Structure 1
Amino acid sequence: MPLPDDRMPNRGQVLAYPEAVLLFNPVEDQFKGEVDDKYQYSDESQDIRVHGWICEDLVTGFWQITPSYEFRAGGPNKQFLTSHVGPTTLAMFTSAHYSGEELIPKFADGEPWKKVLGPVFMYVNSLPKGKDPRLLWDDAKEKMIEEVQSWPYSFPASEDFPKANERATFVGRLFVHDRYLEDVKVPAKGAFVGLAIPGEVGSWQRDCKGYQFWTQTDQEGRFVITNVHPGSYNLYGWVNGYIGDFKHDTLVNLTIGDDIDVGDLLFEPPRDGPTLWEIGEPERTAKEFFVPDPNPKYINRLYVNHPDKFRQYGLWERYAELYPHGDLVYTVNVSDYRKDWFFAHVTRKVGNGYNGSTWQVKFKLDIVDPKAVYKLRLALASATNAELEV
């Protein structure tokens, strides 16, 4: 990573926002011409298990291990920062990043609330000089697996942090039935299933006050949610490839030591008829759409040929560069969303300001029932403080 000195005015140029700096005179030449931006050190909550640094001179590793994300806000695919240049390691519990102010806890006058955040595990390892420093990363990942298996820790003295024998287990099996795709229900394999505080369908995405306990189903749709705090929850979930959110109708009440099998559950995605056309896949990312290469002037080599290349700086401005004479026009059964549908709906830079962009989808229906109702469904992989008109 770059050094703190690289962000000083004589070494780095601030770009569109203070966190992003173009390094034109870094201490180490290898970073010359790169962008350093804290938002590039982000990941989904479910994947923030171990992160840190290696010092090659002393062959030393410094790692933060998070054995459980039960105390983080927003569910498994809420994105959080992991690091700042410095280096500064971050243990994020709740944050408005990538989501907005809804994810900041707000309290009424006199409202009681308490929550145990963490603990997280700090791990330092080292090797004799001359050894491959990357072995430290392999060791840190093995240590992470050990800590996950050791959760919940036994040492916290707080009565609000239940020990292993004071928690509960909740198991079941999830099926999905889309009557316009399958004649019978099928196992919801690889689905996300989780317990969170009671609320509306999908409300777990905006929850920042309670605990959440998530897992994924196996090939047969079975799930086991372990180490759950005693309390009242709704069971939520979603299945990749199917639009919509699942919520079990019955409130789940768990007490100390419970091991409850809820049996078979069924998710029926929202439907009003067969699909006439669709763009992309409902899987809560935009990875299947077109992600452009960054402007060569603002590149970070960390994300070259990387699955997360969408984290490169300035990609929103690439939209206007790639489509200088007009906005997207997508023709169903002709266009290819992997090449013809930009991965993010963005504004267009005009001078010193930004204008909204208007995308078009053109399609032809050979038969139209004038008495029928046709629905357009939008699955948003993320949201910001913007306005969407359809």
Structure 2
Amino acid sequence: MMMGGKRLSVSSLGAWFCIFLLAVRVEQSFQLQDGILNRKFLGVSHSSSSNSNYAVQLQIQDKHVILDNGLVQITFTKPGGVVSVIKYNGIENLLDGHEKKDRRGYWDLEWSRIGQRGRYDHAVGTEFKVIKESPEQVELSFTVRWNPSNGNSFALNIDKRFIMMRGSSGFYAYGIYERLPGWPAFDLGNSRLAFKLNTAKFHYMAISDDRQRIMPTPQDRSSGQRLNYPEAVLLTNPSNPDLKGEVDDKYQYSCENKDNRVHGWISNTNQSVGFWMITPSDEFRTGGPLKQDLTSHAGPTTLAVFSSSHYAGWDAVDLRFVNGEPWKKVYGPVFIYLNSVSNNQNAHKTLWNDAKDQMRTEVQSWPYSFPVSDDYPSSNQRGTVSGRLLVQDNQEFTFANAAYVGLAPPGQAGSWQTQGKGYQFWVKTNEEGYFTISNVREGDYNLNAWVPGFIGDFKRDGDITITAGCDINLGDLVFRPPRNGPTLWEIGIPDRSAKEFYIPDPNPRYINKLFVSQTSNSEPSSSSNKFRQYGLWERYTELYPYQDLIYRIGVSDYRNDWFFAHVTRNAGNSFQPSTWQVAFPLANVNYLGTYTLRLAFASATNADLHVRVNNPQADGRRFKVGLTGRDNAIARHGIHGLYWLFHFEIPGYLLVRGTNTLYITQSRCTSPFTGIMYDYLRLEGPSGYHFKKSR
């Protein structure tokens, strides 16, 4: 081989190869500095890479503030703190220039006072301050303060912070929310950071590996047919004919907190550009790891949701403040990340994979060391809690494998689902039940857990006080899930979701193709996201037009025979209650004993369940759940909302040898979305009861 006019020997080639590998590793090491990943070797660029060493520049003008690090330039309104312009990769503005300046990159919130209707407001700052200015980093503050003389203002201070770093292809944002003693009662609903992107450039959205697609435009939605609620639109004449006849609904793109790490949009310019929202931690979010919320949706819009009542109910989440109640919380930081690649067949995949890599870098860097606020503690100001969780059920001990274990503010078992005022920290146990929860903020917490395969919530007795640098080992903890006797029969899997039950194919008139797997003959087949299709609640009446569902223990299969949602029956001009039956055999009955029926709900919306035994008209002996739930997960394609667990003691004399029947009536019928999604049902015999178990 000739190189530079010289012939190279085999040994020389080996030396050159080693040098080449060393050079690649050095290049890669220089591309990962200060938690900022530059992936030129993957074909991903961050504007002009030669500008990555520029110092961060700050320009303060009369009505605007500009941050520029040579890769990204951001313009804020002053003192409002609204992001009005984002310049990147030769594009003058990634945001929607047709929107008003205060509706491009903004904080907003929904709130109310006692006796007043809910209001929607933008958090527009009235004070501007430079927190830090150096060649490496600039941090800005835009603060909106409560005005007690204005009865229409929210009783809350919000300090909106933005950070730009040298060499960073993006910027960070976080908010410090505060109430002082003596302030009036106030309810905080939704609070978020939103970006409205350039409608002419951004058409492709990515939420996860299996949820990515070309999206409809705002004009496509406005010209479409509104369905049962405003968010759901049937696209009747879209600009992209491939979308005609599909349903678009922002709730179809919701995500559980634990999975909501990165989402965003990709432009279709000559140089494809990605705009990504990266959330490295759940510690500040409402409701723990299973809480669902919005991500990105048609607009094109990208959100960082900080607090929300979605999939829980406005009266369930605890962001309700009484008169005089003080409070402070830090939401974020989140990272708005930008990347680009020359257009090719794999542009979407390349940018998405790069965004995931950047997300992992941000997660590993949490908690960040650079925010300049005493309210955001660094790693050495936090503590650690560890231990092992065991499960004792039926006198047997097992390891709590893949259990969710978390620290949340003190409260009753399971109350972490609706907590939003404080912080939460969750991990999953390993195969032997061990867990370590790191980087916990100072404060008092309860240790909570739930274990897939078992009903109920675990809460360790007593508070745990976290101080800076503490390392607390709790040793072995034992969760004893509710049980009074042996299992006679069960329906479903106790996993806090209805996903294992029968989810029908959608009505062909209301399909979102993203959630349909295609077979070779182009017929719809199964999809892990099938539950996200619009209108599935309507299929119940179609599948059971004359008689409600009957499930026979030992014969029926919950995967095919148990409809995923216990909803109302559509009678044309009205909605009617529906009564499901569970028929089960008993070879022997202990007439003096007590049987236990356990019902675990994965979701409930304005539901009231009545259970009768062997007599559908026996009002004198019925079991009532009572009005339950407002999570609206049926309408919002959630497959679960809040978890509920109910226990009913059934006297043995109500049962018979042979076939017995439970009549389970969802008695409220105010809308097509009123109903329940079950997680799991189980009948237990009296203690010491011997039986032959049925499937």
Q: Same fold (TM over 0.5)?
A: yes
1:31, 1:371 → 2: CA distance?
63
Cα distance, 1:131–1:308 mapped onto 2, change above 3 Å? closer
- Aligned AA for 1:97? H
2:345, 2:239 → 1: CA distance?
25
Q: Give 1:385 deviation, angstroms.
A: 2.6
The residue that corresponds to 2:581 in the other structure is 360
Structure 1 residues 1-390: aligned runs within 5 Å: 1-8=215-222, 11-57=223-269, 58-101=271-314, 102-103=316-317, 105-130=319-344, 132-133=346-347, 134-179=349-394, 183-305=395-517, 306-390=527-611
Q: Could you list the runs of 4 or more consecutive aligned residues of structure 1 that deviate by over 6 angstroms after TM superposition?
A: none
Question: Any conservation in 1 of the 2:318–2:419 contact (CA below 8 Å)?
Answer: no
Question: Any conservation in 1 of the 2:318–2:418 contact (CA below 8 Å)?
Answer: no
Question: Any conservation in 2 of the 1:59–1:131 contact (CA below 8 Å)?
Answer: no
1:146-168 Cα offsets, whole Å, 9 max, x none, are 00000011222222211111011
The TM-score, its normalising length taken from structure 2, stands at 0.55
- Secondary structure at the residue paired with 2:352? helix
Moved more, 243-252 or 289-298: 243-252
Moved more, 280-289 or 125-134: 125-134
- Aligned AA for 1:217? T
- Aligned AA for 1:285? S
Question: Any conservation in 2 of the 1:328–1:341 contact (CA below 8 Å)?
Answer: yes
- Secondary structure at the residue paired with 2:233? strand
1:346, 1:103 → 2: CA distance?
24
- Aligned AA for 2:331? L
1:19-49 Cα offsets, whole Å, 9 max, x none, are 0000010011111000000110101111101
1:251-303 Cα offsets, whole Å, 9 max, x none, are 11111111111111111111100111010010011111000010000000111
1:346-376 Cα offsets, whole Å, 9 max, x none, are 1122223322211111112111111211111
1:63-111 Cα offsets, whole Å, 9 max, x none, are 1110001111111111111123101111112222211111251110000
- Secondary structure at the residue paired with 2:607? coil
1:213, 1:353 → 2: CA distance?
45
- Secondary structure at the residue paired with 2:493? coil
- Secondary structure at the residue paired with 1:233? strand
- Aligned AA for 2:599? L
1:156, 1:198 → 2: CA distance?
28
Question: Any conservation in 1 of the 2:384–2:440 contact (CA below 8 Å)?
Answer: yes
1:113, 1:352 → 2: CA distance?
48
1:187-239 Cα offsets, whole Å, 9 max, x none, are 10100000000111111111121111000000110001011011111000011
Question: Any conservation in 1 of the 2:384–2:472 contact (CA below 8 Å)?
Answer: yes
- Aligned AA for 2:571? V
Cα distance, 1:381–1:108 mapped onto 2, change above 3 Å? same
- Secondary structure at the residue paired with 1:185? strand
- Secondary structure at the residue paired with 1:375? strand
1:244, 1:142 → 2: CA distance?
36
RMSD: 1.2
Structure with higher strand content = 2
2:329, 2:380 → 1: CA distance?
19
Question: Any conservation in 2 of the 1:348–1:357 contact (CA below 8 Å)?
Answer: yes
Q: Give 1:131 deviation, angstroms.
A: 5.5
Moved more, 218-227 or 380-389: 380-389
Count of aligned pairs: 385
- Aligned AA for 1:19? E
- Secondary structure at the residue paired with 2:597? coil
Q: Give 1:339 deviation, angstroms.
A: 0.4
- Secondary structure at the residue paired with 1:364? strand
Moved more, 50-59 or 191-200: 50-59
- Secondary structure at the residue paired with 2:488? coil
- Secondary structure at the residue paired with 2:321? coil
Cα distance, 1:59–1:131 mapped onto 2, change above 3 Å? farther
Q: Give 1:384 deviation, angstroms.
A: 2.1
Q: Which has the larger radius of gyration?
A: 2
- Aligned AA for 1:3? T
Cα distance, 1:228–1:285 mapped onto 2, change above 3 Å? same
1:140, 1:233 → 2: CA distance?
34
- Aligned AA for 2:296? S
Q: Give 1:130 deviation, angstroms.
A: 2.5
- Aligned AA for 1:108? V
1:114, 1:204 → 2: CA distance?
18
Question: Any conservation in 2 of the 1:98–1:383 contact (CA below 8 Å)?
Answer: no
1:367, 1:94 → 2: CA distance?
52
The TM-score, its normalising length taken from structure 1, stands at 0.96
1:116, 1:383 → 2: CA distance?
31
Question: Any conservation in 2 of the 1:96–1:104 contact (CA below 8 Å)?
Answer: no
Question: Any conservation in 2 of the 1:24–1:32 contact (CA below 8 Å)?
Answer: yes
1:384, 1:166 → 2: CA distance?
42
Gaps of 5+ in 1: none
- Aligned AA for 1:118? G
1:104, 1:184 → 2: CA distance?
37
Question: Any conservation in 2 of the 1:99–1:384 contact (CA below 8 Å)?
Answer: no
Gaps of 5+ in 2: 1-214, 518-526, 612-695
